[in-house]
Amino acid sequence: MIFADLFFIYFFMPLCLALYFLTKKTVYRNRVLIGFSLVFYAWGEPVWVFILLLSSVLNYFAALAIAKAKQDSKAKLLMALVTIWDLGVLFCFKYIGFFVINFNSWFGLSIPVPKITLPIGISFYTFQTLSYVIDVYRGKVPVQKTYSKLLLYISLFPQLVAGPIVRYSTIADEIDRRKISLKDISDGVSRIILGLGKKVIIANSISTIVTSLFGEMKDGYEAMGNVTVLGTWYGAVLVGLWYYYDFSGYSDMAIGMGRIFGFHFDENFKYPYICTSITEFWRRWHISLSTWFRDYVYIPLGGNRKGKTRQCINIMIVWSLTCFWHGASWNFMIWGAYFGALLLVEKLFLLKKLERTNSFVQHLYAVILVAIGWGIFYFEEFGSLGKFFKSLVGFAPGGFTDVSTNSLFTQNIWLFIAACALSTPLIPKIKKAICTSKSSAKAFGTFGVLCNLAILLISSMLLVNTTNNPFLYFKF
């Protein structure tokens, strides 16, 4: 099941909320959540839900044993085994096809390529379970003795299939005791609607423009045959906006839903496009993933404490893993190498130089490089990626611009401006400026309620058009 779906919004979610608030005790509420979470997952993966259950059982017992063994060699062994299991499952589902294909082509073999469909969300929940076991091993969190509570953490449907990657420590308290305030519910609802609007109104509309400009994987990026220079730049920026609204919209809905249930997840996006460097961009984009890699890979490898060379190696290791996490495809490798290299250059000298320029230059530098990065991310096929790069620097088959590029631009100009403006903290700033007194805050709040209602209704109506509308980050 996905969030931006009428069935979810007008059947699953209301039913879940009703049952949740009809039960009073946290114990029962947890049962309601587990039940709905498993149905939610099984809705899309009626078979692989058992992998999720199996994984949660194994990790539960492993963590118990690790906690009991207390840091000795037995704990180490168990830790290694459970890591192998978790990453092994992920590898089998996600990467084995890719490896077999490449082995075949490198060594001229013809090993049959297994046809495995990727269970949705496996990259996300694997990382969640891993973080739990590692934290138990490190003694940072007390082990969870009740299986159902651990299962609740792993399967909690708001964050199950597309993040944010919630740490066990973040919600450990709230599994047992949580209070839900009026503000939690109100903010949660607003957040869900905001996320829905981001996905349905903005991201989906932008995606159709991108498809018109670039084509898509399934038509072999047909439109790249006569793309224009302006169209390429416009498209690259749009791809960046599209991914941002799509993914942050999902995170908003997850955070909002968590909040209604009384869980407080960490933010996953902090207006990434106001960044002034690539380093800053990655501190603001998909934060739960970058901090995961930082805490469980970068820092254990020594981080920046073992000298410049070691730090550079560490950065490159983290970046190859990050790109690999996104998917088994060569363009993700290039994408990871691209950002890894940029981060290295920034670490080594560029950041210092950038600081001496003015903020507009910094911003322009960051946004252009990020947009190019998203271009790499978008084209899963090398021929089209090559055309993309050629067109960026002026060698476009369709010339500088054409009627179709211009029309796509003017026909979506307001959408484009709005999408750019809303990717900055404009609304919080306006809110701060207006809400200086009680009455103005009240008026602003009332206006906000009306906006919420309008966004909800418009998004719902737009959803009628789409019978299939998955979130992008589902494939990861």
Partner 1 sequence: MDDNRYSGERPRRPAPQRRPMQSSRTRPPMRRRPSPEDRMSAARRYDREDEARPVRRYSREDEERPVRRRRPPEKQEQNAAVSEGESVQVMNIIVCLGAIFLIAIVLLVMTIMGKREKESPSENRKLAEFPKFSFSSLFEGDFTKGISTYFTDTIPGRESIKRFNSSFTECFGFSVGDVKINSSLKKVEQEKFDDKGVTTTKVSINTAPATTTTASETTKEGQETDKTTTTTTKSNQKKEEIVEIPENTNEGKLLGSVIVYGSGKETRGLVMSYVNFDLGKQFADAVNKWKEDLGDSVNVYAMPDPLSSAFYMPSNMKNMGTDQDENIKNIVGNLKNVVGINCVNELAKHMNEDIYARTDHHWLPLGAYYATKVFAESAQVDYPELDQYTKLTKEGFLGTLYTYSNYDQGIQNNPDTFVYYKAKNIDQVSCTYYDTSFNKMATPYGTDKSGLFYDSMEGSNCYLSFLGSDAQIVEINTPCKNNRVLVVYKNSYGNAMIPFLTNSFSKIYVCDYRYFDINGVDFCKKVGCTDLLFTGAISLICSDVGISSINNIRVQ
What tokens appear for 49 in the block? 């839900």
Contact 237, 252 (CB under 8 A): no
* Count of all residues that appear for the chain in the document: 476
Which lies closer to partner 1 via its Cβ, residue 6 or residue 312? 6
Which lies closer to partner 1 via its Cβ, residue 69 or residue 458? 458
C-alpha span between 235 and 314 (Å, rounded): 33
Contact 469, 463 (CB under 8 A): yes
Which lies closer to partner 1 via its Cβ, residue 268 or residue 372? 268
Provide the 10 A C-beta neighbour count for residue 173.
Answer: 11
Long-range contacts formed by 170-177: CB under 8 A, 24+ apart: 170/264, 170/265, 170/266, 171/263, 171/264, 171/265, 172/141, 172/142, 172/144, 174/262, 174/263, 174/264, 175/30, 175/144, 175/149, 176/26, 176/149, 177/26
- In the complex, least distance from residue 444 CB atom to partner 1, rounded to whole angstroms: 7
Could you list the active site residues? 326
Helical H segments across 48-121, by residue range: 49-69, 73-94, 96-107
C-alpha span between 246 and 196 (Å, rounded): 9
- In the complex, least distance from residue 107 CB atom to partner 1, rounded to whole angstroms: 32
- In the complex, least distance from residue 333 CB atom to partner 1, rounded to whole angstroms: 28
- In the complex, least distance from residue 303 CB atom to partner 1, rounded to whole angstroms: 10
- In the complex, least distance from residue 353 CB atom to partner 1, rounded to whole angstroms: 25
Q: What's at 320, amino acid-wise?
A: S
Q: What's at 79, amino acid-wise?
A: M
Which lies closer to partner 1 via its Cβ, residue 114 or residue 425? 425
CA geometry: angle 44, 458, 12, nearest 5 deg: 30
Which lies closer to partner 1 via its Cβ, residue 256 or residue 335? 256
Task: Write the burial class of residue 282 (CB in 10 Å: 0-12 exposed, 13-18 middle, 19+ buried).
Answer: buried
- In the complex, least distance from residue 334 CB atom to partner 1, rounded to whole angstroms: 26
Which lies closer to partner 1 via its Cβ, residue 90 or residue 455? 455
Instruction: Find out whether the peptide bond into 164 is cis, omega within 30 degrees of 0.
Output: yes
